[in-house]
């Protein structure tokens, strides 16, 4: 603690508790050291200690065998039954140990059906001690392990499923290692509680004597001096067990076995995806369908639109009852996710915190060491094999996640906004690398993104999703270049959107900014067969808006005023307000821009103005 930390009351309050806990221990040690006759002999204390250590160890092993699975199930279940079981498991914590022993006598006592069936050997025996210790100590493991398992994001286990691991494998290879600190703490508490148990033990099994029972008998018979030896033994054992249990775990580096890089298997053919999904998750209803004509598909939409949910359904993570899914000509909706041979890169990289880079890349079932080594070299990860995710940069983690997915030579690669958390240079580099892989390996991909530029770079088919529905789908150039509605236009980068009406064939009057605004300005547009007077929505890409100085007699476009100029480096953004109050953004790369406050004219080619009837907006 720093000097500054003592200016708050928190350290002092904690120090009071530490003082209260330490003083009795110090007092006992001082008394023991200052005794002129040394520690009084205590015949039988060592035997009692052996009984306590043995039964506490057996108890902990039995509780671990049953309590860890129970904690895992309770952490993953959220129903009423799970809540009731959780309460019942914690109930022994609230009971005085003596009452716990009485409850156990009602079940395993010598004259109960269970006690008679066991030949009355469930009391006054080692079995009786273990039964008593298990009842009072099991909740400590279940509570600690349940909290540790609950902290594991379900998405981590889903990711392991996409790598081919079934439930038991996910439990032993992902959940248990990630929850290990909490489980170890629970096991330590269980052992210590069992070792120190007295109340339930003395009711159920007075003989053979455990160390707490032996100590109480000595205290009752001859007083305090006779308890010093067993108390010293108990303190020594408890301190040793606590020290061993709380020692920091030293991570063992497992260096990878040498592997010669091997080229991944070339896919036999591309795998376009076809799906028709209808499912409800919570209060969100998803109903989307599309048959891709290309093996490179992008799901485009805003946050919360249902893109990631669609991808999870395509992967099989929502089960078989969500609708139809086909990879190429093969229906897979009834195939478990583990058997679909997928590569999956979820949001947040999807790496397992307890595995090194090499272990990550080889984690998928069927991953070949040679192929894994190839992708490590290809994605510039050589030399990082022994690092864990916490020791990697964001770009390195994303590369590891991509190598992990590709090491299985998957039939389909699913990417859930894989580059959104990266800085611009790394994002650009990884996009280009993925595009090269698509081209060189005919890699089949389904990409979730909110960036239309990313969709244009990495997909041939684009599906635009909004509110759990497909609002436009088709060829990339059709979707991005000719949006079917203002909602799609907004998602694909039309920064200028507004309302107006058809003023004449090929002319749209854009609405003004209020009651006192001048009449609406007019723009040339392709109005097709829309009658004059039809209310419309219109949209223009910023790069199609041209701003020119206002010159006498120039009537090429409506008059406007420059209100803001932003130099974005490669391009310059100019915001203008038309004389009727409509605001437009123009983007240019020539660097020749008007200063803020200048009067100007706005010129837009008619075919750059997209028009939609307002009732279809």
pLDDT tens by residue, 418-457: 888 778 888 888 889 899 888 888 889 999 999 999 999 9
Question: Residue 616: its pLDDT value, please?
Answer: 47
Structure tokens at 522: 């007019």
Question: Residue 568: its pLDDT value, please?
Answer: 83
Per the CATH hierarchy, to which homologous superfamily does domain 17-246 belong? Answer: MetI-like (1.10.3720.10)
Flag whether pLDDT at 12 surpasses 70.
yes
Backbone φ and ψ of 546, nearest 5°: -110, 130
Flag whether pLDDT at 617 surpasses 50.
no
pLDDT band at 251 (very low <50, low <70, confident <90, very high): low
Which among 357, 284, 304, 312 has a CA at the least distance from the CA of 158? 312
pLDDT band at 517 (very low <50, low <70, confident <90, very high): very low
Structure tokens at 419: 């580059």
Which among 63, 56, 86, 62 has a CA at the least distance from the CA of 186? 63
Encode pLDDT of 521-561 as tens digits: 888 898 888 899 899 999 999 999 999 988 877 777 888 99
The CATH number that domain 273-481 falls under is 3.40.50.300
Give the lowest-confidence range in 185-189, 227-231, 481-485, 582-586: 227-231
Which among 396, 457, 389 has a CA at the least distance from the CA of 423? 396
Encode pLDDT of 46-89 as tens digits: 999 999 999 999 999 999 999 999 999 999 998 899 999 999 99
Flag whether pLDDT at 513 surpasses 60.
no
Residues in the chain: 617
Please give the share of the chain, as a percent, with pLDDT higher than 90: 59
The CATH number that domain 494-616 falls under is 2.40.50.140
- Mean of the per-residue pLDDT values for the chain? 89
Question: Residue 260: its pLDDT value, please?
Answer: 72
pLDDT band at 516 (very low <50, low <70, confident <90, very high): very low
Encode pLDDT of 19-51 as tens digits: 998 998 888 888 877 776 666 667 888 999 999
Please tell me the distance from the alpha carbon of residue 43 to that of residue 525, in angstroms, as a whole number: 104
Residues 6+ apart with CB under 8 A from 31: 228
Please name the residue that has the structure tokens 């130099």. Answer: 567
Question: Residue 550: its pLDDT value, please?
Answer: 85
Cα dist. 555→182, 540, 594, 601 in Å? 75, 20, 18, 8
Flag whether pLDDT at 267 surpasses 50.
yes
Encode pLDDT of 99-128 as tens digits: 999 999 999 998 899 989 888 888 999 999
**For residue 307, how many C-alpha atoms fall within 13 Å in the half-sphere facing its CB?**
27
Question: Residue 326: its pLDDT value, please?
Answer: 95
Structural domain boundaries in the chain: 17-246, 273-481, 494-616
């Amino acid at each position: 603690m720093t000097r500054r930390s003592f200016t708050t009351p928190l350290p002092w309050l904690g120090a009071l508790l530490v003082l209260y806990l330490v003083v009795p221990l110090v007092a006992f040690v001082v008394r023991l050291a200052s005794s002129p006759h040394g520690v009084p002999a205590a015949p039988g204390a060592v035997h009692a200690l052996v009984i306590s250590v043995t039964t506490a160890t057996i108890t902990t092993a039995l509780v671990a065998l049953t309590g860890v699975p129970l904690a895992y199930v309770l952490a993953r279940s959220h129903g009423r039954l799970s809540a009731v079981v959780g309460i019942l498991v914690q109930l022994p914590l609230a009971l005085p140990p003596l009452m716990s022993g009485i409850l156990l006598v009602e079940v395993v006592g010598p004259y109960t059906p269970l006690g008679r069936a066991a030949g009355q050997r469930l009391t006054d025996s080692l079995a009786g001690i273990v039964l008593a210790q298990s009842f009072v100590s099991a909740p400590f493991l279940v509570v600690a392990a349940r909290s540790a398992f609950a902290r594991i994001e379900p998405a981590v286990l889903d990711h392991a499923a996409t790598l081919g691991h079934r439930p038991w494998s996910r439990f032993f290879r992902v959940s248990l290692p990630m929850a290990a600190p909490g489980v170890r703490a629970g096991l330590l508490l269980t052992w210590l509680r069992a070792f120190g148990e007295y109340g339930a033990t003395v009711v159920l099994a007075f003989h053979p004597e455990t160390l707490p029972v032996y100590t109480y008998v000595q205290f009752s018979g001859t007083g305090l001096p006779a308890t010093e030896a067993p108390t010293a033994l108990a303190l020594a054992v408890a301190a040793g067990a606590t020290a061993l249990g709380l020692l920091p775990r030293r991570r063992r580096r497992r260096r990878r076995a040498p592997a010669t890089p091997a080229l991944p298997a070339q896919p036999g053919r591309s795998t376009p995806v076809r799906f028709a999904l209808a499912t409800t998750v919570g209060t969100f209803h998803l109903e989307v369908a599309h048959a891709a004509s290309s093996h490179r598909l992008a799901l485009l939409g805003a946050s919360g639109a249902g893109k990631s949910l669609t991808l999870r359904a395509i992967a099989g993570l929502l089960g078989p009852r969500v609708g139809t899914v086909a990879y190429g000509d093969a229906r897979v909706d009834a195939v478990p996710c583990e058997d679909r041979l997928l590569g999956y890169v979820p949001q947040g990289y999807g790496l397992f915190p307890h595995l090194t880079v090499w272990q990550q890349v080889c984690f998928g079932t069927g991953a070949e060491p040679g192929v894994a080594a190839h992708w490590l070299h290809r994605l510039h990860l050589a030399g990082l094999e022994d690092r864990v995710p916490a020791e990697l940069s964001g770009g390195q983690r994303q590369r590891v996640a991509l190598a992990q997915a590709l090491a299985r030579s998957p039939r389909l690669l699913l990417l859930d906004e894989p580059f959104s958390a990266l800085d611009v240079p790394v994002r650009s580099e990884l996009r280009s690398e993925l595009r090269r892989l698509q081209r060189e390996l005919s890699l089949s991909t389904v990409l979730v993104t909110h960036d239309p530029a990313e969709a244009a770079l990495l997909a041939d088919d684009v599906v635009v999703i909004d509110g759990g529905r497909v609002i436009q789908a088709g060829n990339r150039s059709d979707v991005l270049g000719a949006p079917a509605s203002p909602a799609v236009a907004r998602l694909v980068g039309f920064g200028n959107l507004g309302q107006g009406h058809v003023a004449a064939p090929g002319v749209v009057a854009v609405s003004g900014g209020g009651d006192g605004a001048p009449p609406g300005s007019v723009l040339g547009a392709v109005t097709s067969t829309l009658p004059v007077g039809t209310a419309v929505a219109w949209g223009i890409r910023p790069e199609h808006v041209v701003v020119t100085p206002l010159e006498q007699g120039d009537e090429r476009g409506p008059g406007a005023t420059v209100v803001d100029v932003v130099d974005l480096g490669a391009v310059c953004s100019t915001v203008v307000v038309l004389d009727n109050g409509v605001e437009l953004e123009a983007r240019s790369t020539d660097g020749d821009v008007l200063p803020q406050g200048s009067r100007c004219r706005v010129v837009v080619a008619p075919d750059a103005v997209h028009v939609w009837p307002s009732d279809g907006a």
